[in-house]
């Protein structure tokens, strides 16, 4: 399961700015980050007159926009999907998900607090608050970092959610082309290959395996 961290706080407290700074810091440390933005007011990402907008207006339930650089999906839903369901159904191949908002969801939270936009904290430990980013000192039972201490905030996230033994990985290339493998296929191949290799003499504890068939 991909770990989820929710960045919460009042409007204009700096949630988006904090996320903008955390992402490159985690990227620099070698982690892939996905983000989810909670919008209680609804939104439109396909502008009127664009082909994707015309597809949806014509009645398509799901529209996918794809290019060589990025893709997007616009899909009708009957009700708002919980953050956990969004992560399971639509997010793959990342190390962590950082959401903006979702203060009522049961996921670990970092609250952004600014003296000029907040009166009191929105969350406590019972709301799964595990850190605070603020321009004011607090005497509370979770770490409180300066809102500008991006490395310190990233350290907390990394220590709690990312500094674990990395799962084994496998890369498959056929005729020079990389093949995308689903997680359960990866796990099955890794277990099978490691099992066979470890049965060979002097290969009882393989750390890295390379196989090439030509």
Residues 115 and 171 in one domain: no
Residues 154 and 186 in one domain: no
The answer to whether residue 60 is domain-embedded is no
Residues 201 and 152 in one domain: no
Residues 84 and 142 in one domain: yes
Distances (CA, A) of 1 to 36, 49, 101, 178: 16, 39, 20, 24
Residues 140 and 213 in one domain: no
pLDDT of residue 166: 57
Mean pLDDT, residues 31-44: 78
Alpha-carbon distance of 73 to 92, in angstroms, equals 14
Alpha-carbon distance of 21 to 151, in angstroms, equals 9
Quote helix, strand, coil % in the chain, to nearest 5. Answer: 30, 20, 50
* Residue among 11, 21, 34 at smallest CA distance from 152: 21
Mean pLDDT, residues 149-163: 94
Residues 83 and 182 in one domain: no
Residues 88 and 124 in one domain: yes
Tokens of 106: 């049961």
pLDDT digits (tens, 9 = 90+) for 44-91: 676 777 877 777 777 878 777 888 888 888 888 888 888 888 888 888
Distances (CA, A) of 197 to 61, 202, 203: 48, 9, 6
CB-based contacts of 115: which residues, under 8 Å, 6+ apart? 135, 136
Q: How many structural domains does the chain have?
A: 2
pLDDT digits (tens, 9 = 90+) for 78-125: 888 888 888 888 888 899 999 998 888 889 999 999 988 778 899 999
pLDDT of residue 65: 81
Domain span at 97: 4-46+72-162
Predicted TM-score (pTM) of the model is 0.70
CB-based contacts of 105: which residues, under 8 Å, 6+ apart? 6, 82, 83, 84, 99
Alpha-carbon distance of 2 to 42, in angstroms, equals 26
Distances (CA, A) of 25 to 2, 55, 151: 19, 38, 7
Last residue of a domain, which of 144, 162, 180?
162
Residues 123 and 19 in one domain: yes
Residues 184 and 121 in one domain: no
**CATH number of the CATH domain containing 14:** 3.40.50.300
Residue 40: pLDDT band (50, 70, 90) is low
The answer to whether residue 86 is domain-embedded is yes
The answer to whether residue 174 is domain-embedded is yes
Alpha-carbon distance of 170 to 52, in angstroms, equals 36
CB-based contacts of 86: which residues, under 8 Å, 6+ apart? 36
Residues 42 and 90 in one domain: yes
* Residue among 119, 105, 113, 102 at smallest CA distance from 12: 113
Alpha-carbon distance of 113 to 15, in angstroms, equals 9
Residues 100 and 181 in one domain: no
């Amino acid at each position: 399961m991909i770990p989820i961290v929710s960045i919460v706080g009042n409007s204009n407290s700096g949630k988006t700015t904090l996320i903008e700074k955390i992402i490159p810091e985690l990227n620099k440390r070698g982690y892939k980050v996905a983000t989810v933005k909670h919008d209680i007011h609804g939104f439109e990402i396909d502008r009127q007159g664009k082909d994707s907008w015309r597809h949806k207006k014509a009645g398509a339930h799901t529209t996918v926009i794809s290019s060589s650089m990025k893709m997007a999906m616009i899909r009708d839903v009957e009700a708002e999907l919980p953050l956990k369901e969004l992560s399971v159904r639509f997010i793959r191949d990342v190390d962590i998900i950082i959401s903006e908002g979702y203060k009522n969801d049961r996921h670990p939270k970092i609250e952004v607090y600014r003296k000029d936009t907040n009166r009191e904290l929105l969350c406590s430990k019972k709301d799964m608050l595990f850190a605070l980013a603020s321009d004011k000192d607090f005497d509370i039972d979770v770490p409180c970092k300066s809102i500008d201490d991006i490395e310190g905030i990233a350290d907390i996230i990394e220590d709690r959610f990312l500094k674990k033994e990395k799962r084994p990985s496998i890369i498959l290339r056929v005729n020079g082309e990389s093949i995308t493998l689903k997680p359960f296929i990866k796990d099955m191949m890794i277990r099978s290959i490691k099992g066979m290799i470890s049965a060979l003499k002097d290969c009882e504890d393989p750390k890295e395996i390379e196989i090439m068939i030509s």
